[in-house]
Amino acid sequence: MAKIKLTKNELKIQKDALKMYRRYLPTLTLKKQQLQAEIRTIEAKAQAVRKDRENLEKGFSSWIAVFSEKDAFPDGIITVRNIRKGVGNIAGVTIPVYEGADFSRGDYDLYETPLWVDIAANHMEKAMSLDLEAEVLDEQIKLLEEELRVTSQRVNLFEKVKIPETEENIKKIAIYMADQQVSAVVRSKISKRKIALRNEMSSQTEVYSL
C-alpha cells in the first residue's frame, strides 16, 4: 500500500476515488456477465455448425466407394477463392462475422468425368463453408475470452484491492484527523486554564500589594 498524506485534501481524493470505483464496478461486473453469456452462446453455435458438418460428412458415406477409385475425383477440384467476413461488436469487442465464401472449381472434362462429381463437389463446398464458419466462430470466442480475462482482472482489482484499500485509507485519515481535532480541543482547554490561572494569580498579587 502506497503511503498517503494524512490531510483533508487527501481525504477528498480518496473519497472521490472510492466513489469512482463503486460507480464503475457494477458496469464491469455486467460486462463480465455479458461476455460469459455471449461466449457460451457462440460455443453452442460452433458446436451446432460442427454437428452439421459431421452430418454432411455422413452423407458422403455413399460416395466413399466411388471416391476410392483411382482418379475418380480430380485433385484440387475445389479451392477457396475468397472468404467473406463482416464486422460485429459484442460488449465493445470488435469481432469478425462469417458471411460466406466463394469457391473455384478446377477444370475437368465434362464428358470423361462422372456426373456424380458435380454433386459431390457441391457437398464439398458446403462442408468447407461449414469449416470456415466454425473457424470464424472460434476466432470470436478467442477475442471475447481475452476481453473476459481483462475484464475479470479489473473486477477483481476493484473488488479485492482498490475498494478495500481506499476504504482503509479513508478510515486511517479520518481517525488521524479526529485525533488531531481532539488534541486541538485539549490543547485549547489547557491553554485557557493556564490563561485563567495566570489571571487569577495576577489578581491575587494585586490584592496582596494593596
The domain that holds 25 is classified in CATH as 1.10.287.3240
Looking at residue 93, what is its pLDDT?
Answer: 96
- The residue-averaged pLDDT of 102-109 equals 77
Residue 82 located in a structural domain: yes
pLDDT higher for 58 or 9? Answer: 9
Instruction: Examine residue 173 and state whether it is found in any structural domain, yes or no.
Output: no
Residue 64 counted as domain residue: yes
Residue for grid cell 472449381:
105
**Residue carrying the nine cell digits 461466449:** 39
Q: Is pLDDT above 60 for 69?
A: no
Report if residue 22 sits inside a domain.
yes
Q: How many domains does the chain have?
A: 1
**Model pLDDT, residue 2:** 63
Distance (Å, rounded) from C-alpha 56 to C-alpha 76?
A: 20
Work out whether strand 78-90 and strand 93-105 pair parallel, antiparallel, or are unpaired: antiparallel
Which long-range contacts link 159-162 to residues 24+ away (Cβ below 8 Å)?
159/25, 162/17, 162/21
pLDDT band at 39 (very low <50, low <70, confident <90, very high): very high
